Structure 1
Amino acid sequence: MPLDEICRIQALHEARILDTPPSSEFDSIVELARCMSDCPIALISLVDTDRQWFKAKVGVAFGQAPREHSFCGPVVETASALIVEDAARDARFASNIFVAGPSKVTFYAGVPLMEGEVCFGSLCVMDTKSRAFGEPDQTKLERLATVAVGLIREQRQTLLLSEQRRELELKQARFEQTERSAKVGGFEMDLQTGALVWSDQIYRTVGLPVGLPLTPDIVIGCYAPEEREGVRTRIKNALTGAGTGVDKEYRIITPEGEDRWVHIVSDIEMIDGQPRRLFGILQDVSERVRYERRLLKTANTDSLTGLGNRTAFVAQLNAATEKHASSMGLLLIDVDHLKQINDTLGHALGDIVLKEVAARLSEKIVRRGQAFRLGGDEFAVLIEDNMSARRMAGLARSIIEHVARPLHVDGSTIIPKVTVGGAIFEAGMDGASLSQNADFALYHAKETRRGSYVQFEPCLRTRISSRIEKTREVEHALVEGRLLPYYQPIILSANGDVIGFEALVRMKRDDGSIVSAGDFHEALDDPHLSHRVTSTMVAQIAADLQRWSDQGLSIARIGLNVSAADFSRGDLETRISAAFGPRGIPFDRLTIEVTESVFMQGVEETVAGTLQRLRKRGVLVALDDFGTGFASLTHLRSLPVDIIKIDKSFIDMMAHDASSLAIVELVLDLARKLKLKVTAEGVEQFGQAHSLLELGCTSLQGYLFGKPMPQDKVKDFLEERALTLHAVSENPVAA
């Protein structure tokens, strides 16, 4: 068994959750998961060495199952979510006894139950029929998983505290059974004379020499400064007959400066209606208090960085907003590209980066605020005093600069970068509203200005709400099959032949109207959604190529636009194979089109490697929107590119803007020297086509030759195009 699995199993057993009785709190979570997902089965599954045990379940009669047949095993092994929409079609699970057997489990969605780096198991839902499970569904399941982990943690802490209380009760019982018990001493004071008597144990507890004569000032001096006035009043009241007994804990300070805590229980003896004696016991409870404080600190501290965790942050935020601190500010901070650091250099180095970011945050805000780690790559800084929009923007920029100092670790140099969003407290807000505003700002910063600072403005809420609405619209369109490719022809400059098409994604709305990607491009910024759209496009392109082949049409190539999300998972080649292979369509019918932004997402090596493998199988690679990015020449030198596509903005301006024409000429000359083909995009006028032909442009694309069209119009277009070219060849003068 690997060491990390041994450590995981040990942590699971130490959580003391296995084989515990059913709990209504856990049962509520699985019931809620079942209702939210509309699935008949929901489980909180804890994965042991050779079994999975269900802390809570709905929809199954048994309480555990062998690990070797579990869906939850892969979730634990990868510490990441697993979505299986059709297990019977999934090679990993098709032969599983729960899939092939009487259970007929077809759909599975599970998310890990993570505490720090430890995965206890999963919260999962299952169904006997195939179904889709989108990112919003996964997010809901992950939030429920967080609640489940919190319950596990709470149960463990409650058990530990219970054990501590039992230990204290045992000590107290021994005290009652013996004349002298460790760390327990007795005291009394004669209320007639004021004379004080302590047992030897009390002297030892407070750190004074045994037998030292006592006075009220000596007694009061043993207590911590915040306790002294209350003790002085208590003694005065006892001597005047107005006092009562106490049952309370106090902080004391020994002569050596050590903090200790004592629990004092006292009463007043009455004789003939008059108070005669104050007596009681004092117990040193320092060990218990320190233990409880350690528990509290552990529950509120991030174990990796030592900063307050999300629990501490929420408590502090709510406490601060309840004070109506009108000048309070909140910064939410995201560490950029941490996943790439973990994937390429290892999680150990990623943890070092997180600890260093935490240290640098603390350095920058010392005496100005408090930093927290919310989890993963997220941090927060809460400034409770004297914060304006200008001051907070300055602080955010200084944090970005301070964090970005080079970090040298084991021969590697890393420059940590962060993106920051901020918001300022306003009257009527609560902690959740302030946090949401800062989150909106951070979200916008990551989407539009990564590596910089964005401050919340009310318009951001509208923009992000619009993006969310667009995302939902695209998700519905995916589920309902309303995303489809439209094909725009690409023309060979030399003779006007159609040499291929570019597949452009279109969405059919509920009313039947067709909209271009420009109307929902915000949704495609979501990597998960973009990945799904590409998969849909690949499948439909493969189907259309086969359909055209059956009609006797010969389509040379189809261009497909892909995003960074299609490379980050490393499965682009696999998805193309899954769509093209069963239909017998060769890879040389495909052109992959990428923009420069794909190469600037921190995954350039991954992109280059994937494209190189695809080129070996016949795929061509086109660099789209060339000239509008930042490092085109570098990309032409270092990346596998076959075709340059000149952006429409240069074609539009070349007739009356000398600089645009010069750029077009420069690109064409560069392509000839690099032996690359060139496609000019957005050609809409005969004059543009004529000029590009004279300049030696290889191929043309634009409304002049054809607008994007559905697959069922491609055959008619090609036939009409062939007739037109034939007529021109027969009568070139008339043309």
Structure 2
Amino acid sequence: MSLTEDERLNLLYEASILDTPPTTEFDAIVRLACSMFDMPMALVSFVDEHRQWFKARQGFPLEEAPREHSFCGYVVETGSPLVVEDARTDSRFCANTFVKDWSVQFYAGVPLSEGATCYGGFCVLDTKSRRFSDRDLEQLHSLASVVMGLIREHRQQSLLKEQQRELELKQARFEQTERSAKVGGFEMDLSTGAIVWSDQIYRTVGLPIGKRMTSEEVIGCYAPEERDSVRRRIRDILNGAGTGIDKEYRIITPEGEERWIRVVSDIEHLQGEPRRLFGIVQDVSEKVRYEQRLLRAANADPLTGLANRAAYNAHMERLTATEASSIGLLLIDVDRLKQINDTLGHATGDLLLKGVASRLDERLGKRGKVFRLGGDEFCVILEAPANARGMRSLARHLIEYIGRPLEVGGSTINPMITLGGAISEGEMDAATLSQNADFALYHAKETRRGSYVQYQPSLRSTIAHRIQIVREVELALTEHRIVPHYQPLVRCADGQVWAFEALVRMQRPDNSILSAAQFHEAFTDSSVSHHITTRMLEHVATDIRNWMNRGLDFGRVGLNVSASDFMRGDLETKIVAAFASRGIPLDKLVLEVTETVFLQGLEDTVATTLQRLRKKGLAVALDDFGTGYASLTHLRSLPVDIIKIDKSFIDTMLDDESSLAIVELVLNLAQKLKMKVTAEGVETHRQAMCLLEMGCTTLQGYLFSKPIDREHVVKYLTALKPHLIGNSERTQEELRPWPSQTYA
């Protein structure tokens, strides 16, 4: 059923979104739309009676515009998508302020609708005429559904704030009522057992006013768990041994309603003998329920409804205090949450967390209790005695079940979790058990994301070893013992050196050299990794300047960079400064980036940085190609000049048909994409000849040279010069290891 304009406007105003401040989630959607459709402008537009107001805008300076002649006004009026390929020739919109004042020629917009209600439009615009396919329109609809999710989330948050205000008002009223409340009075003749109640007590306990009460009938008003203590108290009073009380009790009315009362009583004595029990009864049900809600709120996660960290701490303390045997603890980390928050918005990230929480709770059932500890971390405490085999089985089951496709905010996500588990032993306290599980989770995240690691005592030494390695590398950085070694890349066309790859090495105090693989744990520390790159950049720039001064033809130098280098946001500035200060053109540098960089929500940042550097002459290589998760996708979307085929494929391609097929596929693909290809890890003539026959561009490996220090690079290139005379016409069969490989 269609709505009238007044009804639509009322629903728009009730959404409480007009004239609200900008939010990162809405802003992210318009930026994403511009990127997806290669448009300069995108808007989230809400249309009220006289204007269209922009909740989010990209590339358009106005915060609002008149509704008259507006594109989005037309979308609201028709409730249908609108595509205008050339607004200048469209009589409906040629008077639009977008067209007259801001030279908009193209518009594509879809309704922001919920049921029969259309709030406005989600659109992209351009200052030139263009086409917009059905597929483009479908994608615009998908983005609009995400916007509607954000609108619903905004409305829900507004409602929650209103409910909070109402709750605070009710509490204020309750406190006022409590101060002035009338309470019922009672008395009991201890000599006869006769009981007298005021009308208010009858109302409180739900009995007819004036009903004759005996002590057993009074006891029957209390909840079952309270009755024995009340019976003993009355018996003690009748026997002369009782005292007055001030205590709260739970009662059950005849209709089954649960209430709480506060009983304040005293005993009247005559001539030293107890004669009368008297006091007041106050209905404190609302206060008790409010306290219970506060307790639940203090121990519940507001997003997922699961028990929170405070409840987890209390539960663990209770279990360990009772010496429960074999407590099993699983710590669970939701992977890629930051990437989802950054790309799809925090609202979608929250929906993902709620979905994971629901699946955990559903799957655990009575086997354990689920907690959300905060952020992307959950945990499970197993109620039954735990064993390692059962916990591994449960962890694998949870990984499989949680990993099923989940519809969130108009997107389909395959959640991935990483787990670490531990079992209590002997009189182990809660802190130790939690720390053991944390060690296991930490190790799983560092080495086997998406899997489960069971705590073993050796993990402590493993992590301690990592910490020791990090400290050694930090000291080496301080003492300038982090240095590059260089491995040549040989051009297949003529056998000449095309470039060198700078590989990080650590020089020990005894002058022995460690390869990166021998201190790889240090690279998991983002700060250390960043400082290593900074030091390597300075060394490489200095060495290049020195080789240029000597007139050596070294081609380019490849430098590996990590995700932490892009996270800092200063990579481009550092590279430009290091090379400019030494008068080195950037076409002497190749940045080598692995796909793991793009698995941490940094794809847009990396692509933008690399694109700017490429425009300044730098080349980009995709390192370890074939070992990542989405190589073909990255080739399509990233600014890459060179593909480096991972050594694992080169090692096996002569004996394994699948490896050979992958190498052939990469070479054919690179040729069509006009990219160079470097085969890494070439160690035999057979490998080299096979790659030459398949059209590989450059080779790198021990067949030509191991990594060598800066001085041996000079000797290598100097020794190479005589061998290069006439080499331009050598046949493939003449390819041989360079004599300078002895310098390795």
Q: Considering the TM-score relative to the shorter chain, is it more than 0.5?
A: yes
Provide the C-alpha distance between the structure 2 equivalents of 1:198 and 1:600, rounded to a whole number of angstroms: 73
Equivalent residue, structure 1, for 2:505 = 506
Query: Does the 8 Å contact 1:485/1:710 carry over to 2?
Result: yes
Comparing 624-633 with 205-214, greater Cα deviation is found at 624-633
Equivalent residue, structure 2, for 1:722 = 721
Provide the C-alpha distance between the structure 1 equivalents of 2:374 and 2:214, rounded to a whole number of angstroms: 54
For residues 46-102 of structure 1, give each alpha carbon's deviation from its aligned partner in whole angstroms, at most 9, with x where no partner exists: xxxxxxxxxxxxxxxxxxxxxxxxxxxxxxxxxxxxxxxxxxxxxxxxxxxxxxxxx
Q: Which amino acid aligns with 2:676?
A: K
Provide the C-alpha distance between the structure 2 equivalents of 1:531 and 1:316, rounded to a whole number of angstroms: 41
CA shift in 2, pair 1:195/1:651, >3 Å: closer
Partner-residue secondary structure (3-state), 1:262: strand
Q: How far did residue 322 of structure 1 move?
A: 1.9
Provide the C-alpha distance between the structure 2 equivalents of 1:480 and 1:216, rounded to a whole number of angstroms: 87
Q: Is structure 2 residue 461 aligned with structure 1 residue 471?
A: no
Equivalent residue, structure 1, for 2:194 = 195
| Paired residues for 1:302-381 under 5 Å | 302-381=301-380
Partner-residue secondary structure (3-state), 1:292: helix
Provide the C-alpha distance between the structure 2 equivalents of 1:4 and 1:348, rounded to a whole number of angstroms: 17
Q: How far did residue 637 of structure 1 move?
A: 5.4
Equivalent residue, structure 2, for 1:219 = 218
Query: Does the 8 Å contact 1:183/1:284 carry over to 2?
Result: no
Comparing 551-560 with 351-360, greater Cα deviation is found at 551-560
- CA RMSD across the alignment: 3.9
Provide the C-alpha distance between the structure 2 equivalents of 1:356 and 1:684, rounded to a whole number of angstroms: 50
Q: Which amino acid aligns with 1:507?
A: M
Query: Does the 8 Å contact 1:307/1:358 carry over to 2?
Result: yes
Equivalent residue, structure 2, for 1:590 = 589
Query: Does the 8 Å contact 1:327/1:384 carry over to 2?
Result: no
Provide the C-alpha distance between the structure 1 equivalents of 2:571 and 2:703, rounded to a whole number of angstroms: 33
CA shift in 2, pair 1:707/1:452, >3 Å: closer
Comparing 368-377 with 683-692, greater Cα deviation is found at 683-692
Query: Does the 8 Å contact 1:683/1:702 carry over to 2?
Result: yes
| Paired residues for 1:284-299 under 5 Å | 284-299=283-298
Provide the C-alpha distance between the structure 1 equivalents of 2:659 and 2:354, rounded to a whole number of angstroms: 49
Provide the C-alpha distance between the structure 2 equivalents of 1:278 and 1:504, rounded to a whole number of angstroms: 91
Query: Does the 8 Å contact 2:340/2:601 carry over to 1?
Result: no
Provide the C-alpha distance between the structure 1 equivalents of 2:269 and 2:348, rounded to a whole number of angstroms: 70
Query: Does the 8 Å contact 2:246/2:262 carry over to 1?
Result: yes
Comparing 648-657 with 508-517, greater Cα deviation is found at 648-657
Partner-residue secondary structure (3-state), 1:367: helix
Q: How far did residue 431 of structure 1 move?
A: 1.2
CA shift in 2, pair 1:425/1:520, >3 Å: same
Partner-residue secondary structure (3-state), 1:208: coil
Provide the C-alpha distance between the structure 2 equivalents of 1:259 and 1:657, rounded to a whole number of angstroms: 74
Unaligned 5+ runs, structure 2: 1-18, 24-166, 740-744
Provide the C-alpha distance between the structure 2 equivalents of 1:305 and 1:195, rounded to a whole number of angstroms: 54
Provide the C-alpha distance between the structure 1 equivalents of 2:282 and 2:666, rounded to a whole number of angstroms: 86
Q: Which amino acid aligns with 1:299?
A: A
Q: How far did residue 304 of structure 1 move?
A: 1.5
| Paired residues for 1:393-404 under 5 Å | 393-404=392-403
Equivalent residue, structure 1, for 2:243 = 244
CA shift in 2, pair 1:661/1:275, >3 Å: closer
Provide the C-alpha distance between the structure 2 equivalents of 1:350 and 1:670, rounded to a whole number of angstroms: 35
Query: Does the 8 Å contact 2:370/2:379 carry over to 1?
Result: yes
CA shift in 2, pair 1:636/1:333, >3 Å: same
CA shift in 2, pair 1:237/1:575, >3 Å: same
CA shift in 2, pair 1:251/1:510, >3 Å: farther
Equivalent residue, structure 1, for 2:706 = 707
CA shift in 2, pair 1:488/1:404, >3 Å: closer
Provide the C-alpha distance between the structure 2 equivalents of 1:479 and 1:263, rounded to a whole number of angstroms: 69
Partner-residue secondary structure (3-state), 2:520: coil
Equivalent residue, structure 2, for 1:266 = 265
Provide the C-alpha distance between the structure 1 equivalents of 2:681 and 2:362, rounded to a whole number of angstroms: 53
Q: How far did residue 233 of structure 1 move?
A: 0.8
For residues 391-447 of structure 1, give each alpha carbon's deviation from its aligned partner in whole angstroms, at most 9, with x where no partner exists: 333333333333334333443222322222222222221111221222222223223
Query: Does the 8 Å contact 1:325/1:385 carry over to 2?
Result: no
Provide the C-alpha distance between the structure 1 equivalents of 2:656 and 2:293, rounded to a whole number of angstroms: 71
Aligned identity (percent) is 64
Q: How far did residue 721 of structure 1 move?
A: 3.2
Query: Does the 8 Å contact 1:425/1:434 carry over to 2?
Result: yes
Provide the C-alpha distance between the structure 2 equivalents of 1:408 and 1:725, rounded to a whole number of angstroms: 61
Number of positions where the alignment pairs a residue of Structure 1 with one of Structure 2: 573
CA shift in 2, pair 1:563/1:287, >3 Å: same
Query: Does the 8 Å contact 1:183/1:205 carry over to 2?
Result: no
Provide TM-score, normalisation by structure 1: 0.69
Q: How far did residue 5 of structure 1 move?
A: 10
Provide the C-alpha distance between the structure 2 equivalents of 1:562 and 1:635, rounded to a whole number of angstroms: 17
Partner-residue secondary structure (3-state), 1:521: helix
Query: Does the 8 Å contact 1:325/1:425 carry over to 2?
Result: no
Provide the C-alpha distance between the structure 1 equivalents of 2:410 and 2:563, rounded to a whole number of angstroms: 29
| Paired residues for 1:158-197 under 5 Å | 182-197=181-196
Provide the C-alpha distance between the structure 2 equivalents of 1:597 and 1:437, rounded to a whole number of angstroms: 28
Query: Does the 8 Å contact 2:553/2:717 carry over to 1?
Result: no
Equivalent residue, structure 1, for 2:94 = none
CA shift in 2, pair 1:663/1:300, >3 Å: closer
Q: Which amino acid aligns with 1:525?
A: T
Provide the C-alpha distance between the structure 1 equivalents of 2:374 and 2:393, rounded to a whole number of angstroms: 25
Provide the C-alpha distance between the structure 2 equivalents of 1:691 and 1:305, rounded to a whole number of angstroms: 57
Q: Which amino acid aligns with 2:470?
A: T
Equivalent residue, structure 1, for 2:535 = 536
Q: Which amino acid aligns with 1:470?
A: I
Q: How far did residue 228 of structure 1 move?
A: 0.7
Query: Does the 8 Å contact 1:320/1:384 carry over to 2?
Result: no
Provide the C-alpha distance between the structure 2 equivalents of 1:534 and 1:616, rounded to a whole number of angstroms: 22
Provide the C-alpha distance between the structure 1 equivalents of 2:181 and 2:693, rounded to a whole number of angstroms: 101
Query: Does the 8 Å contact 2:494/2:727 carry over to 1?
Result: no
Q: Which amino acid aligns with 2:556?
A: R
Provide the C-alpha distance between the structure 2 equivalents of 1:666 and 1:287, rounded to a whole number of angstroms: 72
Q: Which amino acid aligns with 1:624?
A: D
Comparing 426-435 with 694-703, greater Cα deviation is found at 694-703
Provide the C-alpha distance between the structure 2 equivalents of 1:655 and 1:410, rounded to a whole number of angstroms: 48
CA shift in 2, pair 1:489/1:430, >3 Å: same
Partner-residue secondary structure (3-state), 1:212: coil
Unaligned 5+ runs, structure 1: 7-159, 175-180
Provide the C-alpha distance between the structure 2 equivalents of 1:377 and 1:388, rounded to a whole number of angstroms: 26
Q: Which amino acid aligns with 2:289?
A: R
Partner-residue secondary structure (3-state), 2:302: coil
For residues 606-641 of structure 1, give each alpha carbon's deviation from its aligned partner in whole angstroms, at most 9, with x where no partner exists: 545544443333222223334555665665555443
Provide the C-alpha distance between the structure 1 equivalents of 2:403 and 2:660, rounded to a whole number of angstroms: 40
For residues 333-355 of structure 1, give each alpha carbon's deviation from its aligned partner in whole angstroms, at most 9, with x where no partner exists: 11121111111111112112212
Query: Does the 8 Å contact 2:352/2:408 carry over to 1?
Result: no
